[in-house]
Structure formats: C-alpha cells, structure tokens
C-alpha cells in the first residue's frame, strides 16, 4: 500500500440506526481527499449512498435483520481508487441474478443494487471465511 | 421520524423534518401516507425541503405512497427537492412518475 493510502475499518451492529453514522464517515472522507478534482459534494453523496445501500443489503437480506450480528465495513483509498467492502455473515446471493429495475413498472423495492452498479465502476459479491463480501470500487 | 403535517386548501402537506430519508426511517412516512389515504384524504403533498439524503428505501416509500394515491383516486405530489435528492429521482427515472414542484406554493396551485 502506498504511503498516502487511507484505510478505515468499522464494525457496527446489524441495525439500520447505524446507517447515518457510516454514511457520514463516508461523506467526511470524500471531503478530505486532497487530490480529487471532480465535484466533491457529489462524490460525498455517492459514497454515503453506496455505503447505505450496501449496508441495508447486508442488514436486511444477508444477515436477515438479526440485531445480534455485526456488519463489517472497510473503506480504502489508494492509488486514486476508492474501494468499499461490506462483509456479512449470511447465506449469500448471486448479485448478477438481480435484474435491473423495470422502469415501466412501479415497484417499491429493487433499486438498491442498480444504484450501486450505476455509481461504482466494479461491483462483486463473493464468499469469504464465515460469510460474504460485497466489494465495490471506483476510480477517482 | 419527525413529520409536520398541516392542511391547506384540502391538501395535506407532510413536511419531512429529517436530514435523511432512508431504510431506517422511511417506513414511518410510508405508514403515515397509508393512514391518511385510508382515512379518505385525497391530496397529499410531501415537502422534502429538509431532506439532504435519500436512498432506495426512501424512494420506495414515496413510490408506495404514489401507488396508494392511485388506488384511492387521490394525488401525491412532491415539492422543494434539494439538488442531490432530485438527481436520485433522475437516476431511477422516477422524475417521470412524480409531479415535482420547486416550491410548496407552486405545488399547492397544481392540485
């Protein structure tokens, strides 16, 4: 890892009340990037959003809303790349089997993964020791 | 969640007094809209002036309210969206579904 890399490692209980805390950390991080030349406000919103969507996915679906489980998040910024990993202890699912939303039909749900894929350059979900990880990266 | 509700010209205005409308709190807004339509209210305006952040669950709650309005022959409209919030409606194409007004006053004129 290069000298100027930033790595944040957080574990929070599997509860939606922690979404704003994690989202805020992501936003603050975006505002601290000294080399970023794009629209910082939009980047901050996008990091907040991706963290929120990925955490909700872990909390509600992968960890089946079990409040005793934990969600583990790492955010790494190195070599002009943002890498977010969200770990869960659930059964896992095939991210590629989730269809994009049908814009002609008005569904209450089903936009989370679409939003993540729209914002990030690469999205992968795979098994790791004791669970799964949703790995999302974006060039800065 | 903090919601201020007032009635003007037979329109129920729900002011969402939260910085975030997300998976943690959007269920409350969804239930409130359900309750109002079930009570027989026909016209609801959701004012998002204070909402700085919305996620897919927040959007989903508003979609649920919109469908509820249709099934009760009512209307659900939105006003005063912040720029980033509006961009979420565009990303998910929901700006084609909702009538969105720049101010509460303009929204009220269009019921």
Which stretches of chain A are DSSP H helices?
A: 19-32, 40-56, 112-119
Residue range A86-109: mean pLDDT, rounded: 85
Q: Is the dihedral of CA B89, B90, B93, B96 positive or negative?
A: positive
**pLDDT single digits (tens) A46-60:** 999 999 999 999 998
Residue B63: the pLDDT is 97
- What's the pLDDT at A1? 47
Q: Report which DSSP code applies to B92.
A: T
Burial of A38 (0-12, 13-18, 19+ CB in 10 A): exposed
Interface test with B, best of A13, A39, A42, A45 (most B CBs within 10 A): A45
Q: How far apart are CA A96 and CA B19, in angstroms?
A: 32
Instruction: Give CA–CA dist A91/A110, Å, rounded.
Output: 19
How far is Cα B94 from Cα B68, in angstroms, rounded to an integer? Answer: 16
Domain extents for chain A? Answer: 6-139
Share of chain B above pLDDT 70, in %: 100
pLDDT of A63: 82
Please, which pLDDT band fits residue B104 given cuts at 50, 70 and 90?
Answer: very high
Q: What percent of chain B has pLDDT over 90?
A: 99
In A4-102, where do the E strands start and end?
6-13, 70-78, 81-88
CB B33 within 8 A of CB B101: no
pLDDT digits (tens, 9 = 90+) for A5-36: 899 999 999 999 999 999 999 999 988 887 78
Domain spans in chain B, listed from the N-terminal domain onward: 3-97
Q: What's phi and psi for A50, nearest 5 deg?
A: -65, -40
Query: How far does CA B91 lie from the centroid of its chain?
Result: 17
Residues in chain B whose beta carbon is closer than 8 A to a beta carbon of chain A? 19-20, 22-24, 53, 55-57, 59-61, 63-64, 66-67, 84, 87-88, 91-93, 96-97
Please answer yes or no on whether B55 and A56 come within 8 Å at the CB atom.
Answer: yes
Q: Would you tell me which CATH number, out of the four given (2.60.40.420, 3.40.30.10, 3.20.190.10, 3.30.565.10), belongs to the domain A6-139?
A: 3.30.565.10
The answer to whether ipTM exceeds 0.90 is yes
Q: Is the per-residue pLDDT at A90 higher than 70?
A: yes
- CATH code of the region B3-97: 3.30.750.24
> Residue A3's pLDDT band (boundaries 50, 70, 90)?
low
Closest of B84, B85, B80 to residue B13, by C-alpha: B80
A5 or B64, greater pLDDT: B64
Q: Which pLDDT score, from 0 to 100, does residue A89 have?
A: 87
């Amino acid at each position: 890892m290069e000298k100027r890399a930033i790595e944040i490692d957080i574990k929070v209980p599997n509860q939606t009340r922690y979404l704003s805390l994690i989202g805020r950390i992501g936003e603050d991080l975006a505002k601290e990037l000294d080399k970023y030349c794009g629209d910082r406000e939009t980047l901050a919103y996008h990091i907040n959003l991706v963290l929120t969507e990925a955490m909700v996915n872990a909390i509600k679906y992968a960890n089946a809303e079990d409040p005793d489980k934990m969600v583990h998040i790492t955010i790494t910024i190195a070599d002009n790349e943002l890498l977010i990993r969200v770990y869960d202890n659930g059964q896992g699912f095939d991210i590629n089997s989730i269809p994009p939303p049908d814009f002609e039909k008005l569904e209450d749900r089903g936009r989370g993964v679409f939003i993540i894929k729209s914002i990030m350059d690469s999205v992968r979900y795979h098994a790791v020791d004791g669970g799964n990880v949703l790995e999302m990266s974006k060039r800065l | 969640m903090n919601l201020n509700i007032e009635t003007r010209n037979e329109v129920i205005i729900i002011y969402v007094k939260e910085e975030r409308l997300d998976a943690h709190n959007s269920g409350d807004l969804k239930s409130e809209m359900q309750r109002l339509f079930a009570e027989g209210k026909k016209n609801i305006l959701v004012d998002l002036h204070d909402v700085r952040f919305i996620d897919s669950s927040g959007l989903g709650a508003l979609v649920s309210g919109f469908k509820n309005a249709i099934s009760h022959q009512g209307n659900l409209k939105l006003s005063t969206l912040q720029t980033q919030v509006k961009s979420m409606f565009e990303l998910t194409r929901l700006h084609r579904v909702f009538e969105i007004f720049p101010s509460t006053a303009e929204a009220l004129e269009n019921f």
